[in-house]
Amino acid sequence: MKITLLGTGTPIPSLTRSSSSYMIEIGTDVILLDHGPGAFQRLMQTGKRAQDVTHVFLSHLHFDHCGDLARLIHHQWDAVGGLAPRFKIYGPQGTQEMVERLFGPQGAYHRDLTARTSHPVSLRIFKSRGGGAQRPPPDTAVTEIADGTRVVEKNWTLEALEVLHHQPYLESLGFRVTSSNKVFAYTSDVKLSGRDGPVKALYSLAKDADLLVHYLNGFDFDMAAPGLLTRQQVAATLARDAGVKTLVTTHHGPAIDRDGVRERVIADLAEIYKGRLIWGQDLMTFEL
């Protein structure tokens, strides 16, 4: 499997870091984990088109993890809607409602969709691509997933595990993808608690992963009380104790991703975690 970091940023807009998105290629499957603002541009930079995507999994519904989903759906539909099936969409509770409220008959895009399914020019373009007299609207089907959901495809399995983030307002999932005995794990956004160390669920998510992409937005250099772990120590402790082979940090905002801070955080990580350590950047790729 090949992993490409499409977006390693945060909700803060950035020209160098798109918001969260990761692409996994396994055989002919192109799987996206999250698709935050800017991620579609990165997808294009890899040479992929919306219609090449086969699966999308959303970890949670913070906009920096799903803001470009509407764009992805629209581009796929505009190019091949009604001619080829759309990629499958999976996400936590609320994902169906979000897609329906965007692309459903009463959705935010209904005027655009009505025009594109009714105007003779749009219908002519559809016909020239091999379509019939009727142009069907976008597919709004979603499979909602929760803690413990396993999606089994021919060449890979994805397991969703609940991670502690902004409950009870948002359900949040991390993902563990297994293919040909290789494991890719993605924490999504997680609470980095200094008092308790890594959250328990993260150990089953990250156990023996060949590659772990770990959220690391905040950092601490001076802890208020002795014995507390800094946020970067929490991430490194998980990677070490779970036996992770490569740790990639992500979700870097401008506060952590600046000269003088970045190096100190990396040094703190390296003190605990002795495996291969990468400070994630957009468009980095990893072969497992």
Q: Interface residues with Zn ion (CB under 5 A)?
A: 62, 189
Strand-pair category, 21-26 with 143-144: unpaired
Q: How far is CA 83 from the centre of its chain?
A: 27
CA 219/CA 236 separation, integer angstroms = 12
| Closer to Zn ion by Cβ: residue 29 or 189 | 189
* H-assigned helices in the chain: 39-45, 63-66, 69-80, 95-103, 110-118, 120-128, 201-206, 231-241, 262-272
Least distance to Zn ion, CB of residue 202, Å: 15
Least distance to Zn ion, CB of residue 189, Å: 4
| Closer to Zn ion by Cβ: residue 50 or 199 | 199
Least distance to Zn ion, CB of residue 140, Å: 24
| Closer to Zn ion by Cβ: residue 76 or 217 | 217
By the 8 A CB rule, do 61 and 99 touch? no
Least distance to Zn ion, CB of residue 13, Å: 16
Least distance to Zn ion, CB of residue 151, Å: 22
| Closer to Zn ion by Cβ: residue 59 or 76 | 59
Residue with tokens 């993902």: 175
| Closer to Zn ion by Cβ: residue 13 or 85 | 13
Of 51, 48, 111, nearest to 81 (Cα)? Answer: 51
